[in-house]
Amino acid sequence: MFSMNYATRRLSATASMQSVRAPEGRCRRTLNVLSILVLLTSLTTPATAVTSQQTLTLDDAKHLLFRTGFGATADELNTFVGQTREQSVELVVNGFRHAPQLPMPSWTQRPAPHHWARGNMTKSEMRNFNEARDREIASLRVWWVRQMIETNSPQTERLVLMWHNHFATAYAGINAQAISIARQHQLFREYGTGDLADLLKQMIRDPALLNYLDNEKSHKKSPNENLARELMELFTLGEGHFTESDVRNAARALTGYGIEPIHNLQFRFRKPYHDTAGKTLFGQTGNYNGDDLIDLILQQPHTATFIAKRFWQTYISDLPAEAEPLQQLATDFRDSGYNLKTLYRATLLSDAFWQQKHRATIVRSPVALVIGAIRSSGIVPTHWQTLPATLASMGQNLFDPPNVAGWPGGAHWITPSRLLNRMDWLEGLALNCSGTDCTDTTDSSATRTKPAPANTMNNTAAMSANSMAANVMSIVTIADQQSTMPTADSVTPSGSRTGKLISIRLAGEDFDEPVQYQVSIHLADKLLWTTGPTAVAGGHDSERLGRMKLDQAIPWQVVEFNVAADIKNFDRISVEFLNDAANNGTDRNLFVDNVVYNSEHFPASTGTQESACPPSQPYDAGRLYCNGTLTLLRSTEKPVDTNTSQAMADHQHNTANTIASNRFTAGAVYLRAARSAKKKSGYINFGLTNVWLNGRYWHTVNARFSQIAQTGKNSKEKGNSATAGSTVYALQLDRFSCWPDCTHNWPPCTSIAKRDTSSRSLTFPLSDETGNGACQYQSLAPSDRALVSTLWFNIDQLYKLALQRVPPAKEQRLRHAKDWSAHIEKMAIEIRESQYLEDSDEPIPLLQLAGTTENVSVMQDKLIHGTPLPGGRSVQQREQDWRQLLASTPQASLQTVLLPTAPVTNRHRLTLQEVLTDLSAQLQ
């Protein structure tokens, strides 16, 4: 679907380009004039060697910090003011880190969810599955926002954000594969400061990008050109520096670069898909693969220029890059063997970076604006968890750029409606409020904003260090209240917990006033504990902003309450929506996603809703559009934990104790694919999730049972003498059948495909006991043999469970599978006579289903507790930082620290609110 949309976009882009041919000519002329000017000026610029020893003034340090990080904290300024340019750039580069300071949400470290099973899910299962993924990406957004607020290397985050924008990949365009987005993000962290060649070679193997740009099924018979084209047009060379023939040949070089869904959604090179014939790229001919393609691209001089231009746009200016200095950057970059740190240093040490004419010439992206304002001012909005929704409303939904070209940025960030939105948010931050707090009534906001400028204008007293400090302290004080006072509706006593925490992930759609709700714990007809009526703060103001548009824009937040007593004996938790307003044209709604109490998880989708307007789908129980109650029953039996990371951890730490031996369990069994048994090489594939066998764990097992010609091609002794056309049943496992691998090792007699020597497979025929199959089986380690014999032994069980799992709506999938019925019966009988069962010392276990819980992704990681500390500095530290800055740097003040340039307004002393809402605060 994406490719189609994108194709349309391309078409329309081409169409509109033609229609602007005239002004383009005009632009070029102007550019030429500019470049002549640049040439003239660059002749008179002093050499970099001298300037790199200049020391940083407050303005210089601020400029460096604004551009490379987010805003500038007093702490950062204290560090950078007075350093030489060279020293300061070294400080930044040495601060780069691969691992984020704040651990990523735990789901990012787990194996990929079973996306491959989606074909067999019912509508409601699919919905739960997708919602769990949405929840994951939402948690990744909250995590990144917090990471950006707190980190002491904002420069790393800024660079990662640049790569995210450069290799723009949208979660919305990759079938909800949140895990791939998270892995791509980690890739940027790991390779974003190394060599470009490595980064690019990683990118053409990155599952998120391969999926987004439709390369995963690209086959030599019909290569898909999407990735090849964007690789050259948007990632390396730029339009006009390659030909259509290069695109076609590059696409051929990238055929076979795909993903293996069964194998943890990892990269898989499918050699049979790969075009091994000769290709002509940039005038050279050879049998090129993807890595060769990257090497050839790096031989084109324009790649260096193109990447240098990206750095220019990110760090130097929204204005077009000046030819001469840009070329210098490109040359330095190329000479270094495309080392990204070299380019980074060269950019920041270039005269262009420091020139006055380039200062304040970048329109702040929403991330730079919001995170910068928070870090600089020290004010964290009470409902900081909803910041990703704020960024989305300003046009920058993290992990969801509008298309592969990334966010257009610049003037696009300040369209009239966005400019209003940005000003509103900054004003709200200055007033230390957000959402409904700020917008309860428009009138009051008007009266609140008016008196402030008048007062400060009249106050013309000379500015002393003390009064400045007092002014600064007011910031610190606000921040102080922020981080120490519990918010009105939640108690988050991190560190000093007495009872148990109950947390609820919810969102409000406000109209007129915030949503009111209460959470209670019950046992039979007894109310054990309740929050009492509580307001959802930071809800979506549907009066001002309108109804929420996309599910992803819902401002989810996790609210926690301290349950004083440790209630263990209860049977249900309820969430009541108390103040619906549906009359007279208003709408107020409450959305509940899940509740966690004492580590027990209650997803709203499994609850029931009693209200005037119950949802049409039971899994929508958490959406309360009318007053009513969501009831979450405590399940009577403890669910089997098939949550993989947990299971893995259990396995590693405690195999012997927790997992009974002689047990075979799976989360679910799916019919993956089938070819009719009537056909010559029919097969039937069963996909098993979360498999436990005698204490050993596989995240996925894909068991393929097939009919193969009795004369295995490796068993020469039988040769052609076997009856022609006679077939034998076999179980086949290959390198990508299981995650982790099916077997501990690959026995010497493993079949290696001629076409693809990296592909290995094992074949376990049912009745051929002398051939290669026997060798393969006998050479396996005992626990590997157990997998083979157990799968064989359970053949009829697998068949039955897999077919049951096919939802009625997808019955056409059963067509070929049903042909296997008689064959399966036959196999089930024959297997009892075979070597696979004879060898076994212990009885072989029968498959038991454990149920699947992968749709439950608990978001309540540590990252949502408490309030982030801007720049990692506590309130006391921030206060000291400011004192130190004021003492050492007399010109420091609110406006000289927070604004990139003189304020647009003509007043002398500005309040915090005036500083933040000054137009120049839009720039950096």
Partner 1 sequence: MNRRHFMQSAAFLPLLPGLAVNASMAHEQTKTIAAGTAVTGRRIILLELAGANDGLNTVVPWSNNYYHELRPTIGLKGNAVIAVNDNYGFHHRLKALMPVWDASELAVVHAMGYPKPNRSHFKSIALWEAGGDGYSNGKRGWPTHDIEHAYASSEIDAHGIVLGGSMGIFSNGQGNWLSMTAARQFANRQSGTLPDAAAQKPLTQNPVMQLLVERARTLKTSLDSIAAKVSNSRHSARIGGNSRLSQQLTHTVNLINAGVDAPVFKVSLGGFDTHEGQLGRHQRLLKNIAISLHDLRTELVKTDQWKNTIVMTYSEFGRRVTENGSRGTDHGTAAAHLILGGSVNGGFYGTEPDLANLSDGDLRYTMDYRSVYNRLLSDWLKLPADSFSEYRDHRLDSLTS
Report the SS3 class of residue 336: coil
Residue type at position 835: Q
Does 449 contact partner 1 by CB under 8 A?
yes
Residue type at position 43: L
**With CB under 8 A as the contact rule, which of the stretches 212-220, 360-368, 748-756, 787-795 interacts with partner 1?**
360-368
Does 14 contact partner 1 by CB under 8 A?
no
Does 593 contact partner 1 by CB under 8 A?
no
Report, in Å, the least distance between residue 184 CB and partner 1.
23
| Residue among 44, 442, 599, 721 that touches partner 1 (CB under 8 A) | 442
Nearest to 370 by CA among 403, 404, 401, 393: 393
CA distance 216 to 610: 46
* Helical segments of 274-415, H only: 290-299, 301-311, 323-335, 340-349, 351-354, 366-377, 387-393
Does 585 contact partner 1 by CB under 8 A?
yes
Does 923 contact partner 1 by CB under 8 A?
yes
Report, in Å, the least distance between residue 607 CB and partner 1.
18
**Cis peptide upstream of residue 740 (ω within 30 degrees of 0):** yes
Does 843 contact partner 1 by CB under 8 A?
no
Does 320 contact partner 1 by CB under 8 A?
yes
Does 877 contact partner 1 by CB under 8 A?
no
CA distance 553 to 389: 5
User: What are the residues facing 505 on neighbouring strands?
Assistant: 558, 594
Does 32 contact partner 1 by CB under 8 A?
no
CA distance 428 to 422: 10
Site string for partner 1, 388-407 (x = CB under 8 A): -------x------x-----
How many residues lie near partner 1 (CB under 8 A)?
82
CA distance 91 to 87: 6
Does 919 contact partner 1 by CB under 8 A?
yes
Phi, psi (degrees; rounded to nearest 5) at 320: -65, 145
Report, in Å, the least distance between residue 215 CB and partner 1.
22
CA distance 429 to 91: 31
**With CB under 8 A as the contact rule, which of the stretches 352-360, 466-474, 513-521, 888-896 interacts with partner 1?**
352-360
Report, in Å, the least distance between residue 406 CB and partner 1.
11
Task: Please give the residues from 271 up to 310 whose contact with partner 1 meets the rule CB under 8 A.
Answer: none
Does 445 contact partner 1 by CB under 8 A?
yes
Report, in Å, the least distance between residue 869 CB and partner 1.
30
Does 613 contact partner 1 by CB under 8 A?
yes
Nearer to partner 1, 412 or 678 (CB): 412
Does 222 contact partner 1 by CB under 8 A?
no
Does 27 contact partner 1 by CB under 8 A?
yes
Report the SS3 class of residue 73: coil
C-beta of residue 386 within 8 angstroms of C-beta of residue 156: no
Nearer to partner 1, 540 or 816 (CB): 540
Nearer to partner 1, 310 or 675 (CB): 310
User: What are the residues facing 80 on neighbouring strands?
Assistant: none
Angle of CA points 857, 862, 867, to nearest 5°? 125
CA distance 197 to 205: 13
Does 409 contact partner 1 by CB under 8 A?
yes
Report the SS3 class of residue 366: helix
Does 609 contact partner 1 by CB under 8 A?
no
Does 550 contact partner 1 by CB under 8 A?
yes
H helix count then E strand count, the chain: 36, 25
Nearest to 85 by CA among 348, 471, 343: 348
CA distance 326 to 216: 36
Nearer to partner 1, 329 or 674 (CB): 329
Does 323 contact partner 1 by CB under 8 A?
no
Phi, psi (degrees; rounded to nearest 5) at 810: -115, 35
Does 1 contact partner 1 by CB under 8 A?
yes
Site string for partner 1, 525-544 (x = CB under 8 A): -----------------xxx
Report, in Å, the least distance between residue 135 CB and partner 1.
16
Nearer to partner 1, 466 or 616 (CB): 616
C-beta of residue 691 within 8 angstroms of C-beta of residue 712: no
| Residue among 313, 503, 516, 893 that touches partner 1 (CB under 8 A) | 313
Nearer to partner 1, 349 or 910 (CB): 910
List Cα–Cα distances, 595 to 300, 487, 602, 755, 907, in angstroms. Answer: 55, 19, 5, 52, 50
Report, in Å, the least distance between residue 349 CB and partner 1.
23
Task: Please give the residues from 616 up to 655 whose contact with partner 1 meets the rule CB under 8 A.
Answer: 616, 625-626
Does 37 contact partner 1 by CB under 8 A?
no
Phi, psi (degrees; rounded to nearest 5) at 690: 45, 65
* Cα four-point dihedral sign 172, 176, 180, 186: positive
Residue type at position 619: Y
Report, in Å, the least distance between residue 5 CB and partner 1.
6
| Residue among 450, 568, 638, 754 that touches partner 1 (CB under 8 A) | 450
Task: Please give the residues from 414 up to 433 whose contact with partner 1 meets the rule CB under 8 A.
Answer: 414-417, 419-421, 423-424, 427
Does 238 contact partner 1 by CB under 8 A?
no
**With CB under 8 A as the contact rule, which of the stretches 285-293, 644-652, 738-746, 911-919 interacts with partner 1?**
911-919
Nearer to partner 1, 19 or 757 (CB): 19
| Residue among 30, 481, 758, 778 that touches partner 1 (CB under 8 A) | 30
Does 856 contact partner 1 by CB under 8 A?
no
Report, in Å, the least distance between residue 922 CB and partner 1.
6
Nearer to partner 1, 314 or 893 (CB): 314
Does 36 contact partner 1 by CB under 8 A?
no
Nearer to partner 1, 347 or 503 (CB): 347
Nearest to 579 by CA among 536, 622, 608: 536
C-beta of residue 342 within 8 angstroms of C-beta of residue 333: yes
| Residue among 295, 335, 551, 641 that touches partner 1 (CB under 8 A) | 551
Report the SS3 class of residue 595: strand
Report, in Å, the least distance between residue 621 CB and partner 1.
14
Query: In this structure, what DSSP letter does residue 515 have?
Result: -
Report, in Å, the least distance between residue 164 CB and partner 1.
18
Pairing outcome for strands 500-510 and 540-541: parallel
Does 511 contact partner 1 by CB under 8 A?
yes
CA distance 244 to 258: 23
Tokens of 168: 């723009």
Nearest to 553 by CA among 367, 385, 370, 390: 390
Nearer to partner 1, 426 or 738 (CB): 426
Does 887 contact partner 1 by CB under 8 A?
no
Backbone region of residue 725 per phi and psi (left: phi > 0; alpha: psi in -120 to 50; beta: other values): left
Q: Going by C-beta distance under 8 Å and a sequence separation of 6 or more, which residues neighbour residue 208?
A: 169, 174, 177, 180, 181, 183, 184
Report, in Å, the least distance between residue 437 CB and partner 1.
14
Residue 159, number of CB atoms within 10 A of its CB: 24
List Cα–Cα distances, 226 to 2, 235, 532, in angstroms. Answer: 11, 12, 55
**With CB under 8 A as the contact rule, which of the stretches 287-295, 324-332, 341-349, 549-557 interacts with partner 1?**
549-557
Does 357 contact partner 1 by CB under 8 A?
yes
| Residue among 93, 363, 775, 828 that touches partner 1 (CB under 8 A) | 363
Report the SS3 class of residue 153: coil
Nearest to 923 by CA among 361, 366, 423, 425: 361
Does 904 contact partner 1 by CB under 8 A?
yes
Does 7 contact partner 1 by CB under 8 A?
no
